């Protein structure tokens, strides 16, 4: 029997043996996720081919929380949830997505993601230095805030010449571990093609590196100012035997370079032409990975022949949709968020489907380090303190600033490090580690850092105190922490607890809910 | 190609060279860590290290290398006292350690010549001189990395633990990153409750903890509904581990109340003394690396009154620790390493504003090592008659750290993986120009 036949047989067995699971309140609605988008045709048809069917549709509460974390990295407030849940209009999910995409936290959150990928940090091994970090991060923020089309954003990064303070996109060429053609080419392949340069054959590496062999750097009288520019007079790019290396596009076509034209521009023209097979797929796949928790090509930055897409037609459709809307990433996110596929429950429909890779559910992920601590700070009305003693004068981040807004990867806290904030050394998605471990659990359950936040929590305490009766208090705690009302069983459990533990029952409840998976995971 | 040379110099290789070498097949990521180690791993007998880090730079003349013949210009008001080892004298403020001299050896030939706190602390704890492109990890972090990679440490207490505050000077883990950083306990072990960060809460009673734990079990609706979600499995497993430490038996290692009052008093009822006691309990429960950060030795001014405060604490704590470890049969498997980043100027500066102070001195200083296979009762290296220069048998940081690695069964030529995929040696290669006195073969 071929592998394919075995898989089909296994799928048939699974579907035959598996009894219908009831929807689970308060997470799921008693209806299957709808087929509302071409995305769903491509995903659900593939599921059907392996004997599976789409999952349950998530409840409004789960959806609101999911899009809030996926699009803004921010816990919805109790007031926002009240308004959303009270809204009776049929298109309220789409309107919520529009509101989130237009918000400042959307720009902050995706600035954080791009700063990870572009290695925005002051110190070793990237060494952008603080002023350039600020300028670069603000450029990224402004680009995302104004929804600069992704092809134009990419062109700016790839072709800008100028000073690291005044022309901040030029920092792309400084944010590498070594400012030389191979390292730059590696960053370019990773960032814009989702490809691992280091796994390429040597000739292909050299061919791409050649496009960056005329990038030159010079310092100015201003401290740590550096100018990135095209220097046609740099010595010819050669191999170790002194033979010249030609610029060759990653698809194998040789580039005809005009010595007077910056070869970075030639490369950008090739990369950003509509029929380029690398660029659109890489970014469409990345956005899908961000929202669904798994790339269609996975890892999302490991495009290569041996790692084919899980659903090639789906990736092609997303790529086409992105190209036809002018590389508007918000529009792509809107499409995905509106799909039935995205609105599926994260709980597998059958135990045997829990490892299904065909998007039969939304994959739960622990909140990113910065998002998690921001959510806890938001609940408790507290803040984190960040500073950097290098270089003088020291950098102090104002307490009003959120952790998601940290511009500099070199400015960290024990918390963000412990919870897997990336070091911003490589620009790979895998540098961020969202896997829970015991050290993190100990910290969340019992560290003075977290417990002290619950001791403050002034607004939270006031909101609970204003509730008319204990039942309302329970409801309020649930809305604040889990963005939903408790089930009747949960309400009774909390009330029973409050009768025995009279000291601070609602703080204890809030602490318990913060430590629950439901709080710590996007789901 | 000679892969060995590439490996040796991996630190110095540029990214481009690495890529080029990988491209031509000379270097593969997977081949790198598999390097054979020369020293057979069975040779080391040490299982744990207790590092007592005296940051700030304690004076060598007033501790382990007194110079009574040099006079008050050098010795100030302090004298030397005999120890229980013939011919070995130490400072008069260390009378209890004087009775334990057979258990430890004094390294009087320590030298590196650097007088900056950060740089010297980096050199003494990593065995590297700064200046390359890498920030190297401390010995402790290297050991942690090896244990994690081998999966050989299973304890719930983190393998690299700091009593009680981490050192601020530099990142102990260097390029190895977060996973190899120490767990710092915080709290104060000399208080009625040693509130170990995350393990023993300063506010919550065990009863309230139990109640909250039960409540959490009831309200984690997603965990219950989503038992089939593989993504939640690590969270569930780590939560079980966490509770074992917070409310279960594993966390009791920090409960110093389980020790007899006489023993606690003997160690000294101060944060340092009780940290030494906590370190012994941690070693007993199998924790491989404990650093006790005992700072405040940067005595530029009025050093002698300060030493009369601090040295008795050091004396009590370390002497009791050595005695206690020995009586429990733990000293053979535990390296005890005491020292700071440098010594202090031998000649006392009497005038204002120093009023009897000593300054940074990297040219000559002393460390103490005991246990883990290091023989006691010896003195290695000697300074001249004023303690100004090492006149005999210098010991450089890489000599000492290499020796500790060997005690732990780890070759000084071993490598650890850099996050970028290549291997980096745990110690710099010994080249012709590298100053060295050799490893501490005298003590083995």
Residue-wise pLDDT for B364-411, tens only, equals: 999 999 999 999 999 999 999 999 999 999 999 999 999 999 999 999
Of A331, A366, A401, which residue constitutes the final position of a domain? Answer: A366
Question: Stretch B418-444: mean pLDDT, rounded?
Answer: 90
Q: Based on the number of CB atoms within 10 Å of its own CB, is B286 exposed (0-12), middle (13-18) or buried (19 or more)?
A: middle
Cβ-defined contact of B223 to A355 (cutoff 8 Å): no
- For residue B10, the model assigns a pLDDT of 36
Examine the domain organization and report whether A398 and A487 are in the same domain: yes
Interchain proximity B242–A511, CB inside 8 Å: no
State which of A315, A336, A366 marks the end of a domain.
Answer: A366
- Assigned domain for A133 exists: no
Whether residues A378 and A340 share a domain: the answer is no
Q: Given pLDDT bands bounded at 50, 70 and 90, which one contains residue B419?
A: confident
Q: Check residue B439 and give its pLDDT.
A: 95
**B221/A366 CB distance under 8 A:** no
Mutate to test the interface with B, among A441, A443, A482, A488 (most CBs of B within 10 A): A441
Same-domain check for residues A63 and A162: no
A488 chain-B contacts, CB cut-off 8 A: none
The verdict on A423 and A443 lying in the same domain is: yes
**pLDDT of B306 higher than 80:** yes
In this complex, which of B186, B215, B234 lies closest to A508 when CB atoms are compared?
A: B215
| Domain annotation covers residue A110 | no
Asked if the structure places residue A108 within a domain, the reply is: no
At B365 the pLDDT is: 98
Contacts of residue B292, defined as CB under 8 A and 6 or more positions apart, other chains included, come to B50, B51, B52, B53, B162, B163, B272, B275, B276, B279
Chain A contact set for B235 (CB, 8 A): 366, 436, 441, 517, 520-521
Same domain flag for A84 and A219:
no
Q: Testing the interface with A: which of B219, B225, B248, B420 to mutate, by most A Cβ within 10 A?
A: B219
Interface list for B 121-160 with A (CB within 8 A):
133, 135, 156, 158
Q: Which domain holds residue A82?
A: 3-102+278-366
**B5 pLDDT tier (thresholds 50, 70, 90):** very low
Residues A31 and A51 in one domain: yes
pLDDT band at B171 (very low <50, low <70, confident <90, very high): low
The Cα of A120 is separated from the nearest Cα of chain B by a number of Å equal to: 17
Q: List chain B residues with CB under 8 Å of A494.
A: 215, 219
Measured CA distances, A297 to A154, A305, B178, B348 (Å): 21, 11, 29, 69
Residue segments in chain A with a per-residue pLDDT below the cut of 70: 1-20, 389-393
Q: Give the C-alpha distances (Å, rounded to integers) separating A433 from A69, A109, A365, A430, A440.
A: 17, 17, 10, 7, 12
A202: in domain: yes
B177 Cβ under 8 Å from any chain A Cβ: yes
| Residue tagged 């061919």 (tokens) | A207
pLDDT, tens only, B220-254: 999 888 888 999 999 999 999 999 999 998 899 99
Question: Do A232 and A167 belong together in one domain?
Answer: yes
Contact criterion met (CB < 8 Å) for B201 and A451: yes
Domain boundary at A231, A252, A271, which?
A: A271
Over residues B35-78, the pLDDT tens digits come to 333 433 446 789 999 999 999 999 999 999 999 999 999 999 99
The verdict on a CB contact (< 8 Å) between A351 and B228 is yes
- Inside any domain, residue A112: no
- pLDDT, tens digit (0-9, with 9 covering 90-100), for B78-108: 999 999 999 999 999 999 999 999 999 999 9
Q: Are residues A377 and A429 in the same domain?
A: yes
Beta bridge partners of A395: A388
Same domain assignment for residues A298 and A206: no
Contacts of B25 in chain A (CB under 8 A): none
* pLDDT higher than 70, residue B292: yes
* A vs B: CB pairs below 8 A: 171
Q: Could you give the ipTM of this predicted complex?
A: 0.91
Chain A partners within 8 Å of B221 (Cβ): 26-27, 487, 490, 516, 518
Instruction: Say what the pLDDT of residue A393 is.
Output: 67
Examine the domain organization and report whether A516 and A396 are in the same domain.
yes
| pLDDT band with cut points at 50, 70 and 90 for residue B33 | very low
Q: Supply the mean pLDDT for chain B.
A: 88
Q: Using CA atoms, how far apart are residues A342 and A344, in angstroms rounded to an integer?
A: 6
Cβ distance B219 to A494 less than 8 Å, yes or no, reads yes
pLDDT above 50: residue B324: yes
Of B117 and A153, which is predicted with more confidence? A153
Whole-number pLDDT of residue B431: 87
B174 φ/ψ sector (left φ>0, alpha ψ -120 to 50, else beta): left
Q: Are residues A377 and A302 in the same domain?
A: no
**pLDDT at residue number A488:** 95
User: Which pLDDT score, from 0 to 100, does residue B101 have?
Assistant: 98
The predicted model gives B191-203 an average pLDDT of 90
| A141, part of any domain | no
Alpha-carbon distances, residue A444 vs A290, B223, B291 (angstroms)? 25, 17, 25
Domain count, chain A: 3
pLDDT digits (tens, 9 = 90+) for A47-106: 999 999 999 999 999 999 999 999 999 999 999 999 999 999 999 999 999 999 999 999
Judgement on whether residues A459 and A373 belong to the same structural domain of the protein: yes
pLDDT given at position B168: 60
The verdict on residue A429 lying in a domain is: yes
């Amino acid at each position: 029997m071929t592998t394919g036949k075995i898989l089909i047989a296994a799928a048939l067995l699974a579907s035959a043996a598996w009894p219908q699971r009831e929807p689970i309140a308060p997470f799921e609605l008693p209806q299957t996720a709808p087929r509302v988008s071409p995305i769903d045709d491509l995903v659900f048809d593939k599921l059907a081919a392996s004997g599976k069917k789409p999952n349950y549709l998530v409840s409004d509460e789960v959806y609101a929380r999911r899009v809030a974390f996926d699009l803004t990295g921010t816990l919805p407030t109790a007031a926002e949830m009240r308004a959303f849940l009270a809204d009776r209009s049929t298109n309220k999910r789409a309107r919520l997505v529009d509101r989130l995409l237009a918000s400042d936290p959307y720009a902050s959150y995706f600035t954080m993601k791009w700063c990870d990928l572009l290695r925005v940090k002051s110190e070793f091994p990237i060494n952008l230095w603080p002023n350039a970090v600020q300028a670069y991060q603000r450029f990224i923020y402004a680009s995302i805030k104004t929804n600069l089309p992704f092809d134009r954003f990419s062109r700016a990064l790839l072709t800008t010449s100028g000073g690291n303070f005044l022309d901040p996109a030029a920092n792309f060429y400084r944010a590498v571990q070594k400012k030389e053609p191979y390292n730059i080419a590696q960053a370019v392949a990773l960032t814009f093609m989702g490809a691992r340069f280091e796994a390429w054959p040597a000739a292909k590496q050299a061919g791409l590196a050649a496009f960056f062999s005329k990038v030159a750097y010079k310092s100015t009288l201003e401290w740590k100012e550096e100018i990135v520019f095209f220097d046609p007079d740099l010595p010819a790019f050669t191999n170790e035997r002194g033979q010249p290396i030609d610029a060759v596009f990653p698809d194998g076509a040789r580039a005809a370079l005009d010595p007077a034209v910056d070869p970075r521009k030639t490369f950008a023209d090739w990369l950003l032409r509509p029929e380029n097979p690398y660029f659109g797929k890489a970014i469409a796949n990345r956005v899908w990975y961000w929202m669904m928790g798994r790339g269609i090509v996975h890892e999302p930055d490991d495009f290569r022949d041996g790692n084919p897409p899980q659903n090639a037609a789906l990736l092609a459709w997303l790529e086409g949709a992105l190209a036809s809307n002018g590389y508007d990433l918000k529009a792509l996110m809107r499409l995905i968020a509106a799909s039935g596929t995205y609105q599926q429950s994260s709980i597998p429909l059958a135990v045997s489907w829990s490892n299904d890779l065909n998007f039969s559910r939304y994959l739960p992920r622990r909140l990113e380090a910065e998002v998690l601590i921001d959510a806890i700070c938001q609940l408790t009305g507290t803040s984190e303190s960040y500073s950097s003693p290098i270089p003088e004068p020291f950098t102090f981040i104002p307490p009003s600033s959120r952790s998601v807004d940290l511009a500099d990867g070199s400015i960290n806290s024990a918390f963000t490090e412990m919870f897997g904030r990336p070091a911003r050394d490589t620009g790979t998605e895998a540098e961020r580690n969202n896997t829970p471990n015991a050290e993190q659990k100990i910290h969340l359950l019992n560290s003075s850092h977290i417990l002290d936040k619950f001791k403050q929590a002034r607004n939270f305490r006031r909101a609970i105190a204003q509730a008319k009766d204990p039942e309302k208090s329970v409801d309020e705690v649930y809305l604040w922490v889990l963005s939903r009302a408790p089930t009747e069983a949960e309400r009774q459990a909390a009330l029973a607890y409050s009768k025995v533990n009279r000291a601070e029952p609602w703080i204890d409840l809030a602490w318990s809910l913060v430590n629950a998976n439901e709080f710590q995971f996007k789901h | 190609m000679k892969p060995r040379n590439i490996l040796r110099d991996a630190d110095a290789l540029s990214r481009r060279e690495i890529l080029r070498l990988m491209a031509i097949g000379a270097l593969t990521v997977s081949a790198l860590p598999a390097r054979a180690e020369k020293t057979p791993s069975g040779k080391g007998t040490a299982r744990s290290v207790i590092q007592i880090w005296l940051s700030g730079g304690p004076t060598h003349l007033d501790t382990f290398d007194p110079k009574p013949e040099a006079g008050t210009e050098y010795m100030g008001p302090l004298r030397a006292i005999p120890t229980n080892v013939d011919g070995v004298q130490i400072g008069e403020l260390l009378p209890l350690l004087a009775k334990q001299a057979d258990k430890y050896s004094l390294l009087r030939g320590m030298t590196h010549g650097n007088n900056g706190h950060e740089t010297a602390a980096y050199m003494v704890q990593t065995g590297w001189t700064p200046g390359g492109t890498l920030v190297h990890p401390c010995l402790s972090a290297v050991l942690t990395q090896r244990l994690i990679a081998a999966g050989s440490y299973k304890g719930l207490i983190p393998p690299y633990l700091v009593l009680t505050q981490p050192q601020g000077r530099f990142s102990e883990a260097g390029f190895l990153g977060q996973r190899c950083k120490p767990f710092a306990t915080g709290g104060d072990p000399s208080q009625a409750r040693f509130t170990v960060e995350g393990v023993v809460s300063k506010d919550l009673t065990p009863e309230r903890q139990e109640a909250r734990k039960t409540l959490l079990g009831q309200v984690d609706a997603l965990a219950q509904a989503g038992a089939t979600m593989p993504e939640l499995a690590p969270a569930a497993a780590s939560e079980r581990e966490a509770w074992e430490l917070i409310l279960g038996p594993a966390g009791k290692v920090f409960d110093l109340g389980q020790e007899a009052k006489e023993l606690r008093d003997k160690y000294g009822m101060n944060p340092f003394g009780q940290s030494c006691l906590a370190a012994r309990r941690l070693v007993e429960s199998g924790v491989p690396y404990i650093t006790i950060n005992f700072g405040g030795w940067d005595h530029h001014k009025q050093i002698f009154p300060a030493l009369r405060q601090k040295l008795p604490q050091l004396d009590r704590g370390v002497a009791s620790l050595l005695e206690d470890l020995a009586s429990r049969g733990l000293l053979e498997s535990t390296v005890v390493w005491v020292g700071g980043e440098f010594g202090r100027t031998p000649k006392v500066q009497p005038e204002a504003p120093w009023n009897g102070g000593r300054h940074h001195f990297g040219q000559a200083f002393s460390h103490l090592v005991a246990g883990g296979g290091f023989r006691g009762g010896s003195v290695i290296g000697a300074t001249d008659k004023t303690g100004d220069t090492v006149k005999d048998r210098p010991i450089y940081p890489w000599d000492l750290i290499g020796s500790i690695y060997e005690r732990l069964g780890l070759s000084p030529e071993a490598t650890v993986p850099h996050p970028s995929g290549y291997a980096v040696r745990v110690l710099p290669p010994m080249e012709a120009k590298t100053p060295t006195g050799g490893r501490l073969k005298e003590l083995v």
